[in-house]
Structure 1
């Protein structure tokens, strides 16, 4: 079974889609796919579908959705050459829940986690060429927001937030690797878009400030800091962190050779205004 969730939901068996069109069965499949090869408790599935107040018929209705998914899987299995598995072997009933077996198939989440992990280890080893390449390959797996075409309940909303945070972390680290390789001018367009999308994300703003300054655009770098500070104070009641204030002072006093260590990654907390 091949699973894609980093964008639109797509689940295939023998190359044939087993993704339902109805909203609630899609939710069930999405949650099972995110936790492929692990037992998903029935309580999670019912919370995803109905929140904290499931109807009396919730268990029976959930079983109906599972049956619908198995019917789709059965059709795909029937087209497989010498296929000996049944749909119940793929979507398995377990004590207290269900398990979706991939049987060695692909998962874009797993591939993303593998590649980004290699990228992080390369960053730790200061192998910035490898880090940039591995993290770029990881990010290419994303075709849009996670599960963009699935109606999300509490469980999926939590998983989507987690996935988007891992994406943002990998993106930040890939940009950091590129900065270490002196690619500051090539990053300006991308960072312009990112700081407008993430108006209070300190690390991205710090990277943009550094890229601008190293490109000889010191005044614009300081303007980026001021806009970020205004957004933080207005929206969150916070001052920029110590690391970002240090970066601003360095830009005020240093030349374009400003060292990368002045970026605010992992530095301290935002300061509360007042």
Structure 2
């Protein structure tokens, strides 16, 4: 529900969620727009938070190549409706505004576009990307336990596919896919951290479900193979490789990537580098080099579009 300027007398707790159903809450009260195009304006401004979104991009998102004759006036109407939803609570939310944003102006108007001024704690996707990057950095420097906690906190912000209940235009489709891919990457990093911490038994159920839902995601398949091998289920790990290879060939016309093939050969050879942490004499550096951290965002996106 829109809040009036009188509600600015006390600090408001504000939250916009994009990682799942679109929602806006102010002091626990639902302020989510219901009109489809107003929701799309909000979503596009939010995914580009703290950056000016040109009018032309908003028009493309709302109408693609068939804008109405009065497109400028119509767009201004949608922005006005959105401003009514946001102006009360957001203007009084505690803490400094982002750089370039007036303290009491969350939705700013420019000559050629609009900008939504939000702090990371106000928007779940901003907070998620901040935490995911921190977790990646912690993992890369070897602070594995902290990385696992940070990445778990980041993933806890998700409540379904990004913008799952928004009818997206061409630009939001790309942004929703981008957020989902970053989510998969963060999940893969968190599983990597748990594997380094020796939690292979605990991961088996989660990985079995992930690989069933995404049979061409080689990162998840490789982690299931490693977890099975470490749990003493070598033959099942090898079965995962064969099944993945057949799926990749049948659906995408490609062989497994080099990292997956390397892991397969290592399991066949009984390479001690694959043993759980603390059960062999290899250094952490060699173990990490033998089973490298994958980064396949682009490859997975290509597979999704094939």
> Scaled by the length of structure 1, what TM-score is found?
0.87
The Cα offsets for residues 194-221 of structure 1, whole Å up to 9 and x where unpaired, read as 1111111111100000000100111110
- Number of aligned pairs? 264
Q: Structure 1 CA distance, aligned partners of 2:272 and 2:229?
A: 6
* Shift in alpha-carbon separation, 1:223–1:132, aligned structure 2, 3 A: same
The Cα offsets for residues 49-91 of structure 1, whole Å up to 9 and x where unpaired, read as 11133232222211111121123335658999xxxxxxx9332
Q: Indicate conservation of the 8 Å contact 1:244/1:264, yes or no.
A: no
Q: Indicate conservation of the 8 Å contact 2:120/2:126, yes or no.
A: no
The equivalent of 1:97 in structure 2 is 113
The Cα shift of 1:29 comes to: 0.8
The Cα shift of 1:103 comes to: 6.7
**Is 1:60 the equivalent of 2:73?**
yes
The Cα offsets for residues 94-135 of structure 1, whole Å up to 9 and x where unpaired, read as 121011233786111121122112211111111111111110
**Is 1:170 the equivalent of 2:186?**
yes
Bigger CA drift: 133-142 or 106-115? 106-115
The equivalent of 1:139 in structure 2 is 155
The equivalent of 1:153 in structure 2 is 169
Contiguous gaps of at least 5 residues in structure 2: 1-13, 94-103, 276-286, 300-306
The equivalent of 1:3 in structure 2 is 16
Q: Indicate conservation of the 8 Å contact 1:8/1:144, yes or no.
A: yes
1:182-197, aligned counterparts within 5 Å? 182-197=198-213
The Cα shift of 1:161 comes to: 0.7
RMSD, matched Cα: 2.7
The equivalent of 1:263 in structure 2 is 291
Q: Structure 2 CA distance, aligned partners of 1:105 and 1:40?
A: 21
1:1-274, aligned counterparts within 5 Å? 1-13=14-26, 15-73=28-86, 89-102=105-118, 106-254=122-270, 258-259=274-275, 260-261=287-288, 262-263=290-291, 265-266=293-294
> Scaled by the length of structure 2, what TM-score is found?
0.79
